[in-house]
Copies of this chain bind each other. A is one copy, B any other.
Amino acid sequence: MTDTLIDAPSFTQKLEASRAASRVLAQATTAQKNAALQAIAAAIMQNESRILPANRIDIANGQQNGLSAGLIDRLRLDERRLAALARAVREIVALPDPIGDVVRGSSLANGLQLTQLRVPFGVVGAIYEARPNVTIDIAVLALKSGNAVVLRGGSAAENTNRVLVEVIQSALFETGLPIEAVQTIDEFGREGATQLMRARGYVDVLIPRGSADLINSVVAESTVPVIETGAGVVHVYLDESADVESAVQIVHNSKVQRPSVCNALETLLVHAASAERLLPPVLARLREAGVTIHADERTRAVFADAVAATEDDWTTEYMSLDIAVAVVDDLDGALDHIRRYSTHHTESIVTNDLARAERFLAEVDSAVVMVNASTRFTDGGEFGFGAEVGISTQKLHARGPMGLAELTSTKWVVRGSGQVRG
């Protein structure tokens, strides 16, 4: 817990301010919200000289504290990433405002008119690890969808996040929206995170984004409704009929393009009849890229440059240049393996067989199921959402990348003329 000034607002005062701000945001027009987002995008670019030095302090601290290369990568901001963040904010400006959308409606026989409207959640809480881009993504998606947001970022990014929240608040102030619409509770430390999980009545939904440990502890402790995100033991299955070239490209891209994120490939499954044809070129390409291969016996029979996989490898989200590889008897074997070990994030089949593609799509019970595509496409930006709050791996409320619509609730409006129930 850091020292706080005597007149700094208390935790409860901050949440009350969030609630009050959420009422203003809920009634804000699309034009007002878009003006705030434009101001945020501009402020990100204008404050590069404040943001990047703060980020360099976090990076240096992280390196000193022995953070892994993957975590340092996720923590790092640079000019290019800041520009990409500002661009993502502008993309969200261009997206339609979900608030007020009529989801369903009907006129009942008794003359009542029902309309189900999309409304903001109110106050969204986010608990996440050291990824400063998440601060911007969640804040901006929350604002555009009419919500106030309370952020608890990882302490490894605290300098970066403090500056980013200040930058966002200055843009809110400039455009006349309440600055309390985006607040951090980082100054309350771990105790603040715990209190946030118990803040029923103040916070309408809590989104943990990060490691499986973080998510599990939020799920266990929170009395606020939670949307789980993230953990991805992601599978690619190479069917008997797969093209070698497609298999090589999709596996390489899924594993290597950004190994530190949740949609990166972790376990490769191959049909036994094609192991000899597919595995040597697919795995050789991974070895060239520096990937360590943790393989079962049948894999090592056709590709020797691998370490023996243990049971743990099938359940591990490496987030690094490691991959687990297993040969399966057939599609049923692949489905069984996935059913047993998948975290229900993303699974992809590489095949030319229509019936098998359809069976895989129908029977794999994951947030995103793919045929002949890299698992790296499970991403709000790639899906056209501008950015994402996270990737939900639960089935309640939202599943897969969460954009604007996923940050909304609904409200039934009933218009009558004196009807009573008989």
Contact = CB atoms under 8 A, between A and B. Distances in A.
A340 to B, nearest CB: 11
Contact of A249 (B245, B415, B418): B418
Contacts of A416: 370-374, 377
* Copies of this chain in its oligomeric complex: 2
B377 A421 contact: yes
B27 A395 contact: no
Given A122-B365, A223-B219, A223-B220, A409 B421 contact: no
A397 B397 contact: yes
Given A27-B362, A253-B420, A377 B414 contact: yes
Interface stretch (A10-18, A106-114, A159-167, A296-304): A106-114
A412 interface: yes
- Prevailing SS type, chain A contact patch: mixed
A418 to B, nearest CB: 4
Contacts of A294: none
A353 interface: no
Nearest to A115: B361
Contacts of A411: 365-369, 399-400
Give me the 9 closest cross-chain CB pairs, A-B, nearest first.
Answer: A373-B416, A253-B420, A395-B409, A397-B397, A225-B396, A376-B421, A370-B414, A368-B412, A374-B420
Given A225-B225, A249-B420, A365-B411, 6 more contacts: A220-B223, A225-B396, A361-B413, A371-B416, A373-B414, A383-B412
